[in-house]
Each structure stands twice: as structure tokens, then as C-alpha cells.
Amino acid sequence: MPHSLFDDFKEGGYHSSVLSTFSVDPAFYDASLQFRLRGLGCRNNLLIADATMLEQSLEAIPDAFSNAGRKYLIHPVHSTSCFHPKLALRYGKAKARLIVGSANVTSAGWAGNLELVSTLSWNARDEGQDSEVHRTLFVRAHQWMASITAPAQDNRVAYKLELIRSQSPWIDEPGLVGDAPFE
């Protein structure tokens, strides 16, 4: 069944987002995605992108990220090969939404190409083992996102991540399924 990423981003109730991508279309993120997120009250937004691809985007269109640093933050990931994961994690006070797929943060990835995506939601009102498994997956995804930004020692990224933790207390609540540390 076809899934529209744009339709997925119509749901409100999230205060923060972290998206990761290999290829990035700065005009698309700036004028469409972050605009859409902020319009729904999601004001703490972080875009994590492959450093080489981000640099190429900035060279091609130097003015495209016009709202970066004011309305969202971009964090380049330096890698010996390439940084290729595509995740979209949105955080609410007592809920979360995760998209994992093949779509880059580009207009083609979100609207033109045939892409494979999977979505998962969690809400604190839900009860049972499945709910805790889902929360565990969200916490692990958050921990992974935080771990890939940590080497940069960027105070702005640390601030964004601390805002997420302070507004989503479920991240630090005990009771995760499988207590092994994240690596």
C-alpha cells in the first residue's frame, strides 16, 4: 500500500524531530519539511547529513539553508565511506513516531521516487508488552542519533538533544526491554 511521507508529516503533537539522510536538498528541507514541522508545533529540529553530500549541496546552492541556525540545526557526519541511514524520528511529550526507509531528504526522495519506508508509532497511553518494545525501539533510535553527533562536541547539538530529553521524559524512564547498553 502506498505511503505518503507528506501525509505522515501532517500529524501534530510533536515538539522535536531528528532526520538523518545521505543526500540532502537544502531548498526542500528549508522550504517544505521544516516549514511543515514548525507549522505543527515541532520547533526543535535537527537534520543529520553525510558531510560530503552536504558540502556538495552547499556549493551548488549556497543560500538554500536560509533558516539554518535559527529555525533548525544541521549536523554533518564525517565518515570514512558515507553516512547513509535515513531515519525520521519525531518526539512528543508522551508519544513518538519513527520512519525508517530509503528516502533521502530530497524532493525526489519524498515525492518523485518509489521508496521503501516503514513507520512505527508509540504512545504512553498504550499498554502491554508491544508498547514497551516500541518505546525501547524509540529510545534506542534516539541513543543512536545522539551517539553519532557526540564526537563533534557541538554545544548546539547537545542543547537540541537536551531539549528533547527534557520535553520527552519517557526517554529516560526505566523499564526498557533488554537492558543491554547501546553500542
Distance, in Å, from the CA atom of 110 to the CA atom of 113, rounded to the nearest integer, reads 7
**pLDDT surpasses 60 at 181:** no
Closest by Cα among 147, 136, 122 to 48: 147
- Residue 154 pLDDT exceeds 90: no
The predicted structure's pLDDT at residue 1:
60
The percent of residues above 70 in pLDDT, for the chain, comes to 93
How many percent of the chain have pLDDT more than 90?
47
pLDDT at position 2, please? 66
Side-chain-facing half-sphere of 83: CA atoms under 13 Å = 23
**Residue 132: its pLDDT value, please?**
86
The pTM assigned to this predicted structure is 0.90
Residue 126, pLDDT above cutoff 90: no
Going by pLDDT thresholds of 50, 70 and 90, the confidence category of residue 152 is: low
Statement: residue 153 has pLDDT above 50? yes
165 contacts 44 by C-beta, under 8 angstroms: no
Those residues whose C-beta lies under 8 Å from the C-beta of residue 48, and which sit 6 or more positions away, are: 18, 19, 20, 21, 74, 75, 77, 83, 145, 148, 149
- What average pLDDT does range 142-155 have in this prediction? 84
Number of CB atoms found within 10 A of residue 175's CB: 9
Give the H/E segment covering residue 45. strand 44-50
Cα 168 to Cα 140: distance, rounded to the nearest angstrom? 14
CA-nearest of 52, 54, 118 to 86 is 118
Give 45's pLDDT tier (boundaries 50, 70, 90): very high
Q: Would you place residue 178 in the very low, low, confident or very high pLDDT band (cuts 50, 70, 90)? A: low
Lowest-confidence segment of 82-86, 114-118, 142-146 by average pLDDT: 114-118
pLDDT, residue 26, reads: 87
- For the cut 90, the answer to whether the pLDDT of residue 43 exceeds it is yes
